[in-house]
Amino acid sequence: MSETIFSKIIRHELPADVVYEDNEIMAFRDINPQAPVHVLVVPKVEIETVNDIKPEQAELIGKLVLTAQKIAADEGIAEDGYRLVFNCNRHGCQEVFHLHLHLIGGRQLRGISAA
Ligand code: AMP
């Protein structure tokens, strides 16, 4: 796969509003937020789309969800609730081809049927 802007953010070559980082995962605020809280939880390893996740990466994907859970708590939106979304390819409106989990919340969201 060709490198995306997220690889440069992960290498700290481009600025981002980072809210969490460990050796496997980085989470930073979306540059075009769709809600008061909009964070992208990103594996450091380059995985292009959900279609490219390998079975041996299941633990990493679980860690993405648990990281989003922690950030939601840190942001104070856990109790009210939030949405976690992976967009995949054209019909999913994926724009950046480096896997990322959207954490969206901080306001009442519309039903998924309106997405
Ligand atoms: P997706 O449509 O799922 O691929 O979402 C890509 C997201 O990345 C969009 O919500 C963009 O606003 C966001 N984005 C693109 N470039 C940056 C950036 N440099 N820093 C933070 N978020 C970005």
Pocket test for ligand 1, best of 40, 48, 83, 93 (most atoms within 8 A of CB): 40
- Confidence (pLDDT) at 115: 58
Buried b (16+ CB within 10 A) or exposed e, 91-113: eeebeebbbbbbbbbbeeeeeee
Domain boundaries, position 64: 5-105
Distance CA 82, CA 63 (A): 17
Instruction: Evaluate whether residue 114 is within a structural domain.
Output: no
Q: Which residues of the chain have pLDDT under 70?
A: 1, 114-115
Instruction: Evaluate whether residue 85 is within a structural domain.
Output: yes
Q: Specify the CATH number for the domain of residue 92.
A: 3.30.428.10
Instruction: Evaluate whether residue 111 is within a structural domain.
Output: no
Instruction: Evaluate whether residue 55 is within a structural domain.
Output: yes
- Confidence (pLDDT) at 46: 98
- Confidence (pLDDT) at 17: 98
Instruction: Evaluate whether residue 15 is within a structural domain.
Output: yes
Closest listed residue to residue 72, CA positions, set 110, 96, 47, 36: 36
- Confidence (pLDDT) at 114: 59
Instruction: Evaluate whether residue 30 is within a structural domain.
Output: yes
Closest listed residue to residue 79, CA positions, set 106, 48, 104: 106
Number of domains within the chain: 1
- Confidence (pLDDT) at 113: 76
How far is ligand 1, taken at its centre, from the CA of residue 101, in Å? 11
Instruction: Evaluate whether residue 65 is within a structural domain.
Output: yes
- Show the tokens assigned to 106: 């901080």
Closest atom of ligand 1 to 14 CA is 19
Instruction: Evaluate whether residue 113 is within a structural domain.
Output: no
DSSP string, 34-77: SSSEEEEEEESS---SGGG--GGGHHHHHHHHHHHHHHHHHTT-
